[in-house]
Amino acid sequence: MKKDIHPTYYPEAQVACACGNSFTVGATVKEINVELCSNCHPFYTGKQKLVDTARRVEKFKERAALKSEDKVKAKRDKKVARKKPAISKKDEKKGK
């Protein structure tokens, strides 16, 4: 291994999470600040926690609701169109 090209390794580096949890790991920096850790991450806790700063989730749900309403209206319109008696070209020419 070459000398003076590797970063300094800190076997007692402190990791601090936004939830208040802290623990020690080995790393090349002394202190690490993270937003999510194993105590607050939804995958590990089983709780749904959405961090939505730009209303992305709500916007998606609104668009999805509009699309489903459009599909329901389209199906309804198709049913109505099927129930109406079709005017044939012969009837149009006769004036009926």
Domain ranges of the chain: 1-48, 50-83
**Higher-scoring residue by pLDDT: 7, 2:** 7
Helix (H) or strand (E) holding 11: strand 10-17
Residues 10-29 have pLDDT tens digits of: 999 999 999 999 999 999 99
Supply the pLDDT for residue 28: 95
H helices present in the chain, as ranges: 42-45, 56-83, 89-94
Supply the pLDDT for residue 14: 96
Q: Are 36 and 17 in contact (CB under 8 A)?
A: yes
- Specify the CATH number for 1-48; select among 4.10.80.400, 1.10.645.10, 3.10.310.30, 3.40.50.300: 4.10.80.400
Supply the pLDDT for residue 52: 65
Residues 39-96 have pLDDT tens digits of: 888 777 777 656 666 778 888 888 888 888 777 777 778 777 777 665 666 666 666 5
